[in-house]
Amino acid sequence: MTRPAYANPVHVLLGSPVPVRVPVRVPVRVSVPETVPVSYASASSSLGPARRRGARCLAIALTLTLCVGVPIFSTSARAGVPEALTEHVLPGFQTFAVQARALAVNATADCTAAGVRPSFHNTFDAWMGVSHLGFGPLDTDGRGLAIAFWPDKRGMVGSTVAALLRNEDSAVGNADQFSEVSVAGRGLMALERLLFDPDYAEYGRDSYTCRLVQALAVDLSRMAAATTADWQEQARLMQTAGQAGNVVYLSEDEPAQQLYTALLSGLEWTADQRLGRPMGSFERPRPERAEARRSGRSLRNVLLNLRALEHLAEALAEGPLPVSEAAFTDAIIQAEDLDDPVFAGVADPSGRLKVEILQQRVRAAQEAAKVEIGRQLGVSVGFNSADGD
């Protein structure tokens, strides 16, 4: 079954620079590497992963000679790991870096809420393609939290942003100093507060709020670029697992287990946090807890992340995934059919039922992937950096 793309495609970056598309209202063109689109939606084509494997081998080999930051080296990695890295992980982070860079450039040119919102959405879309890969470079220096501080159980984003504005913190003028600001006052969630909260969104071009928006965008771009750069070494280590001198991955099974754990943990996170938090309890639904509700992205994030996780599952698999593919399809169709962008409907019994059904289908996809892919790879779930949150 082929589903229409929901948002921007993921890209594999190639060599020659061309302009990246930015909102028409912003008179800026950002020069970035040429891109070849690879849509997450294509992961649900009529060809399953096993049948596609042979057809894509040549394309992967050619891409490895061209793709920015995808080195060619002797690999001992088991099947599924190279495909997951070259088809999902590295292109996903490269796309995130490109969109974050466009966000920074566009915010510098036009810092108003109306001017920045399109690039904000593009960057958040790209983040949904990689947010489940919280190990390694995203775990370094707490980057994952600094990029998206959520769930925010104590309202720290609001209080930190308010303090920055109240004190007109001078860190906005220095990128190194701004990187020392609390993670609750950085990243997508702090930027969302300024761009979409009616208490802030009417700021002027010459205001401190405008400068803070620009600082947040530049900081996001810096973190995205650093994470993407660090993934080149991470990929090398994962593809040489078990080889002499590799002190990070001592056996060739470890990278497969790490990616498998990221897949299952991502599905669990979506079910328990992105859906479970706004659902609350039947007696006390909590729609105000939905992720990115101010920007109207709560359901959008669920759908984009489901597609990204489906894409990872098919890249990682060593054979057909009939049960998992069917389960992902059911979950994604349920999300596509849900007309409740910020899960406000959980306050109504009939609306809550629809979100509960979606949550059940996400968990069914998790269980199907756990069994099918785990059996193929011969691995079990390992530690995930989000386990203690």
Q: What is the pLDDT of residue 379?
A: 83
Q: What is the pLDDT of residue 209?
A: 98
* pLDDT tens per residue, range 34-62: 333 333 333 333 334 443 443 343 233 32
Q: What is the mean pLDDT of the chain?
A: 84
Cβ contacts of 185 within 8 Å, gap of 6 or more: 157, 160, 161, 163, 164
Q: What is the pLDDT of residue 339?
A: 96
Q: What is the pLDDT of residue 50?
A: 40
pLDDT over 80 at 32, yes or no? no
Q: How many domains does the chain have?
A: 1
pLDDT over 60 at 6, yes or no? no
Is residue 372 within 8 A of residue 324, CB to CB? The reply is yes
Q: How far is CA 148 from the centre of its chain?
A: 10
Select from 136, 374, 378 the least CA-distant residue to 236: 136
Range of the domain at 367: 1-389
Burial 268-292 (b: 16+ CB within 10 A, else e): bbbbebbbbbbbbeeeebebebbbb
pLDDT over 90 at 156, yes or no? yes
Percent of the chain with pLDDT over 70: 78
Residue 271 CA to residue 105 CA, distance in Å, equals 35
- By DSSP bridging, strand 30-38 and strand 10-20 are antiparallel
* pLDDT tens per residue, range 309-355: 999 999 999 999 999 999 999 999 999 999 999 999 999 999 999 99
156 vs 64, residue with greater confidence: 156
Residue 126 CA to residue 92 CA, distance in Å, equals 7
Cβ-count burial of 207 within 10 angstroms (0-12 exposed, 13-18 middle, 19+ buried)? middle
Any idea what the CATH number is for the domain that residue 251 is in? 1.20.1420.20
Q: Calculate mean pLDDT across residues 167-178.
A: 96
